[in-house]
Each structure stands twice: as structure tokens, then as C-alpha cells.
Amino acid sequence: MIAGVGVDVVEIARFAAVVARQGGRFLRRVFTPGERRTCEGKPRPMAHFAARFAAKEAVLKALGTGLTRDMRWHDVEVVRERAGRPAVRLSGRVLEVAGDGRVHLSVSHSESTATAVAIVERSGISRGPRRTPRRP
């Protein structure tokens, strides 16, 4: 059953400006060492950092929380599966909130924007949409 959907779009130039102002401190606060190594090894690192930032935001939106309740940026780590598909590794408070939820992730970027879509799927039986009883 689909429990939540999150979408985020990041302008790469704007993201790069934030990194230029705040430097390594920002990157260390938001991204795990593995994410930083992956992005820094790419020809356009800012596009990859922006895509991962969008993915983290999309996951938090899909969970319906945003970055609240003792959650940290490092609690959502964007990784690659063996086949190359993006995935997330959850930890800390984000993992507690996600519970048995499985997160599906799609990430993309162009020259100017990075986009991510996250879908949280939970086990259980869907009873269909809620219906409001009609008034007589």
C-alpha cells in the first residue's frame, strides 16, 4: 500500500551558491562521507550533490515529516544498488518513523535542475479511499 509520495526539485546553480558560501561545513552536515566521495568523484559534482539533496527532501516529504523530530540529514543516505539503481539507507529517527515502510526512489538531473521522487510503501491491506457518508 502506498503510504506517501514526495517530490523535490533543486536548482543546481542555487545549490552550488549555498555550497560556495558555506563550504565544506554544509556538505559535511548534509551528506555522509560515502555520499561526498561518490559526488566528488563525478565530472559535475554539484549536480550529483543537488540530486542527493532532492532525494533526501523527497524521502522526508513522503514520510510526511520533513526534517523534524530529532531527524538528521545523515539519517537518509542515498546509495546505489549493484545494478546502479538509486536507493536509500535509513537510520536513526527516520528509520523509526519509516517503520516497515519500503522507500522507492528515482533521481535525475539536467544541466540546470536535479529532481527526485520518493514513494513509501507499507505492508498491509489497502481498504481503498476513505469515503465521506452523504448527508440526507
CA-closest candidate to residue 75, choices 35, 24, 19 = 35
CB 47 within 8 A of CB 101: no
The predicted-structure confidence for 35-71, as pLDDT tens digits, reads as follows: 999 999 999 999 999 999 999 999 999 999 888 868 9
User: What pLDDT band is residue 136 in, cutting at 50, 70 and 90?
Assistant: low
Q: What is the pTM of this model?
A: 0.88
